[in-house]
Structure 1
Amino acid sequence: MAGNPNGTLNLSRPGTRAQNSGGLTLGSPMMRGGAASSNPAAAPLGLNVGSGPAHRSPRNAVAVQDHAFPAPTLSEVRALDETNPVVRLNERQSAIGSLLAAGPRSVAWEDEEFTTGALHVDGHSAGAPVKTSGNRPLVGFHGTSGVVSLRHVRQLRRALIIAAEAPLTIGVFGGAAAAVVPRNSEGDRSVLYISRIGPVLEIRVEFVPADASDAEIWAMLGFSMTIPLDQQVLSH
């Protein structure tokens, strides 16, 4: 904003020169309904008058999840399939206890530091583990059920739960639950793609070729396994 003699808000990208197209400019007299005012109270809400940076008023800051498209809650959907592929947990459901998925063959995770890893129900693992502050896995298995720790949900960026051959069942604290078909009408395998939007989790069912390996599914859905530090040392 430095070097702008008019004190108006410049929306051009840094390092590029804004062209005067004759269009409407924020901070111009037209936007303020007449002559420019030196009274900050007369400025539009959330904009500063003068050459300083614009700031959004904290009272009017919009939550991240408010920008997401509408989605049904887990309490409103009995099954995730091609007709109903997505649900979104509310803040309470996203923060208490664990998200359980009964019957997957494997799980994968990516945390806020972009550390990724995966675990198969038979114990094989890839990538790097992620522990919560309570020294528990952020995503893992409890017996044959996949588990996402929700008490530390803000550590999670996204996760995958890959179906085996039987239907999955997912559930959260409070009793809300839904079934997930293991295959779609064309025989493709179901994969739950779990992503965090602000403080809430969104769960979407994706379909991949039935014979795809876990590594192929990770690649399809944009997961690249972290190389553990000890393996990095050994490879050099």
Structure 2
Amino acid sequence: MVNRSSTPRTDLPYLRRRVKPPLPAAQPEATANPAAVAPAAPAAQQPAGLVLGRNAPPSAANPRAAKLAARREAARNEDHEVGLLFPAPGIADVFELNLRERVLRLTALESAVGTMVVSGSTAMAWESTRRVVGGADAAGHTAGSPVKTSGNRPLVGYDGTAALVSLRHVRELRRAIFINRSSGTMGVQLFSGATVALPPVAGGIQLVLLVHRIGNVLELRAEPVPEAWEDLQIWQEFDFTMTHQAPAGAYGR
């Protein structure tokens, strides 16, 4: 450490240091007219129509953020719509849908995860949110128009004798109906393993399964119809008007 109060030594040149004189204090500039000094100009205001940087809302900065915000708003509206529904049992509370236990309601999670498998049905029909309507039976006959998801798979369709509903794309589904003309029960199974059954024809009455989406949940209902009604008559009764398209196999029932 250098002692500034000591006298610099002249016998040791390499230890000599140059003592810098102190800088004079800064003096304010003289002006002829002090009142003429203009105040600092305010920062330029940003145009109202221009949004830059961090001040930009998500919709302006990122289209994906705007899409997610719209989905969140739609989910809030759907939750409100579901909150207005009358109370209904869940699938864990009902063993069988019949003339006494007519309805159950899935949770939002149960309605959107995995695939809903309907076994024992002989025919079905579907309607998308875009009002595309189609039908099929377990023998491979079709009517109306299919509904393809983004993965190029049917929203509702048969895989062998089992009817499948892709719950991953449940927001594209408006409703579906399943008919059972066999002597066995018709069953519904979810990804979680929860199941519910519908009895076969008895006393001239057959129960069809109506799956309806309300907000973000699915409601399952057992609807009685006369045993003598054909598939086309049942579809007409529930207002499933087929979208015109030449089917691969003619539907004659």
TM-score for both structures, normalised by structure 1: 0.69
The match for 2:133 is 116
How far, CA to CA, are the matches of 1:134 and 1:90 in structure 2? 25
* Residue in 1 that maps onto 2:106: 89
Q: What pairs with 1:1-236 in structure 2 (closer than 5 Å)?
A: 63-165=80-182, 166-184=184-202, 186-228=203-245
Q: CA deviation at 1:134?
A: 1.1
Q: CA deviation at 1:183?
A: 2.5
CA distance in 2, matches of 1:156, 1:79: 24
- What letter matches 1:215 in structure 2? L
Code of the aligned partner of 2:235: W
- Secondary structure (helix, strand or coil) at the match of 1:135 reads coil
Q: Tell me by how many angstroms 1:164 deviates.
A: 2.2
One-letter identity of the residue aligned with 2:200: P
Distance 1:171 1:64 in 2: 26
Shift of 1:173: 1.1
Query: Using the alignment, how far apart are the partners of 2:166 and 2:178 within structure 1?
Result: 14
State the shift of 1:101 in Å. 0.9
AA matched with 2:194:
A
Deviation at 1:179, TM superposition (A): 1.1
Distance in structure 2 (CA, Å) of the matches to 1:164 and 1:87: 22
Partner-residue secondary structure (3-state), 1:79: coil
Structure 1: tracts of 5 or more residues without a match: 1-57, 231-236
- Structure 2 portions without partners, runs of 5+: 1-72, 248-253
CA RMSD of the aligned region, Å?
1.8
Distance 1:182 1:133 in 2: 35
- The CA deviation at 1:64 is 1.1
How many aligned positions are there? 172
* Partners of 1:137 and 1:217 in 2: CA distance: 22
1:67-105 Cα distance to aligned partner (Å, 9 max, x none): 111110001100010111111110111001111111100
TM-score normalised by structure 2 residue count: 0.65
Q: Is the 8 A contact 2:136 2:142 kept in 1?
A: yes
Larger radius of gyration: 2
Three-state SS of the structure 1 residue aligned to 2:136 is strand
Cα offset, 1:205, TM superposition: 0.5
Q: Alignment identity in percent?
A: 42
Q: 1:203 Cα shift?
A: 0.4
**Deviation of the 1:229 alpha carbon:** 7.6
Q: Helix, strand or coil for the counterpart of 1:182?
A: coil
Maintained 8 Å contact 2:144/2:246: no
Deviations 1:134-159 (A, max 9, x none): 11111111111111110000000000
Q: Which runs of at least 4 in structure 1 moved beyond 3 Å after TM superposition?
A: none
Q: What displacement does 1:217 show?
A: 0.2
SS in 2 for 1:204: strand
State how far apart, in whole Å, the 2-side matches of 1:131 and 1:149 are.
10
Letter matched to residue 71 of structure 1: A
* Counterpart secondary structure, 2:171: helix
